[in-house]
A and B are shown apart, each in its own frame.
Chain A
């Protein structure tokens, strides 16, 4: 089981292990839609969206070292943007997803600009407030967001002149999840990854070395927002509707739990966490009505096993 901060970043074994896992998942991902019944495809597609969302969250919590309790605002915001475009402007997938990504990016940037100078705990609470604001807007601005009922009846989107069905949406979700994984991995492998980790590990040293800590945080949150927004946009079509519950505090809590359970220090950890969480939720809820109790306890166990990974390091 990966610990909170994942295996040591420089161990050659961990590199091979994650390639193996990646290959397994990719294989499963390709085989599934050919064999599974519609409900499962629907679920798996959603899982992949959550996975992409969780990975975007992992970028912020694991790699940048800031724990956000408002990350659902980026995902849900993207979902709302896509839904609004689909219902009011165009049934093109690209238009809707594009809007979703842009919206998420904007949210992320705002989060970074306004909250980027805050330390771990302050950032956590402020992000909670930020998420709360977005939820309030979603609940209140009924003409645009549909209020507490949300937006329903999304049509299937079109791509290259074709209406996309569940299987096609699954493919889109899979591509998104894969692209998210690759993008984050590539970033971490090069100089930006160094900067991220430096800012995470010791913001005071980073600043004294000439690194613009605030700027690094803004860029990271913007990128994370883009990825989360895109995931949210795709999820809107899979579910067929959006509601404030996709962006409230308990949704933000859910992605946090997913990422932590899967191992927030690695790139793929949150994806595994999202997969595990959602599948367990489906499976366990038949067998164990109180699966949330099991999830909560598992979360606490992970926190207790690797509390050092939680540390807000030498704060700027």
Chain B
């Protein structure tokens, strides 16, 4: 039971830490000063959530939260590959922010009912802060989607890259059976993925954006028309295709994009492992 809790919370914590790190790379570079402050603040929130999750692990195992965050080898991290991808342009970061925070909301909603009281209480608290993240992401996507064609095109390109990898946020966790049987997570990861896919698809449809256009799906993939007339791949195809990219993060198999991030993120800690701030 303890191992199951640690497996679940490590995946949650690593997601927040790594996407928070990527978000923080916009500090000083966001499109305008107000957004620079806002996005940096969101990055800090995510890293703060990671710290809270690591502290929860510390209560169960005695491991130091700092060592959890910065003292592990790259293949010990359990975040989804989506979180480690470099930012590229603003539209990519925006779409990832929207998909990630939508997925996180689905996940936190379920975690509020976790059998682990500490985790359930934390989920309730975090969801309050994540509400703002969602408002922020939705406000941006809506405006860019309704704006000039260039912004819309960039959003669609970014969705093509991010959406399949966002589905991998809900790949099975290590000790998944034990996590679900003990109600640490009250339903399976694949059930959460279905909820996320349904919600994301319907909201993208409201934005007038196509959901589920996978550039990496083979041409034989079956496409369906959404209510807006855009083509979407059938959900079954999206969930089962072997060509899905960005998988493996939950098993510690990361892309080549992670090592440079890890090098930078952990460099100070590796030089001075016992330093105190």
Is the pairing of A and B real?
no
List B residues at the A interface (Cβ < 8 Å).
none
